[in-house]
Amino acid sequence: MFKIVHDPISVEEVTNLVSRREAGAITVFIGTVRELTKGKRTLSLEYQAYDTMAVKMLGQIGEEIKNKWPDALVAITHRTGKLEIADIAVVIAVSAPHRKTAYEANEYSIERIKQIVPIWKKEFWEDGTMWIGDQLGHAEYPEGSPSKEE
Amino acid sequence: MITVLFFAEIRDVIGLDRIVIKKDQITVLQLKRYFESKYPLLSFDQFMTAINESFVTDEEMIKDQDTVAFIPPVSGG
């Protein structure tokens, strides 16, 4: 249910992992590579992950969701390596009996990915490159250190 | 012996994705100070640390055979 992959992600494959008879809704979040960030043009991106720990932390997000929304089921696949503009970087699929849970648990998943999953993004611009999130003290965890659980 | 993993900016500065060194029976903070003295460009205070794939605090003791990873602020998604 939780994967780090190096090849293009199939949205349908991730969605199928949560498809089930109990579901009345499936929400699918597709995170893609954006060309412009605050006016600056991105040429391409590179994602790097601590693969084994990333899978473990994605699993932890799954556990957190099970505690908060017992009837939700989540699957997450994140891609690493070199990505071009509009490529899919991450797909999160959540199924639940009702849509509200499916929406909420899906948003929760992406927020937690940005806090606790060891994946890093390097931006390639016309005038240079930068690992995002860690530049000489500018980078901060938005809500303090990544907590072990919520 | 312990294995230390480097990612993102740290990997670029050090030029390696891992090293194996004899540095057990010290704390995470002591290991951070050791690398800071070798690589003054890097400020290890801003990095989280994982031992054997679990986040730990700076006070955690590193044992023989542990895998230590320095985790810069993450930027996935």
> Which of A113, A118, A141 is closest, CB to CB, to B77?
A113
A77: buried, middle or exposed (CB in 10 Å: 19+, 13-18, 0-12)? buried
Which superfamily, per CATH, for B2-71? Answer: Beta-grasp domain (3.10.20.30)
Domain boundaries, chain B: 2-71
- Amino acid in the structure at residue B44: F
pTM of this structure: 0.90
A133/B73 Cβ within 8 A: yes
> Which of B69, B73, B77 is closest, CB to CB, to A134?
B73
* Domain A2-131 in CATH 3.90.1170.40: yes
* β-bridge partners, A122: A46, A131
Domain boundaries, chain A: 2-131
**pLDDT (tens digit per residue) in A50-67:** 999 999 999 999 999 999
> Over pLDDT 90: what percentage of chain A?
83
Size of interface A-B (CB pairs under 8 A): 87
The tokens describing A117, both together, are 């999953």
ipTM over 0.90: yes
A54 contacts chain B (CB < 8 A): yes
The tokens describing A122, both together, are 């390097």
A133/B72 Cβ within 8 A: yes
A124 contacts chain B (CB < 8 A): no
Average pLDDT over residues B20-32: 94
A137/B46 Cβ within 8 A: yes
**pLDDT (tens digit per residue) in A12-40:** 999 999 999 999 999 999 999 999 988 89
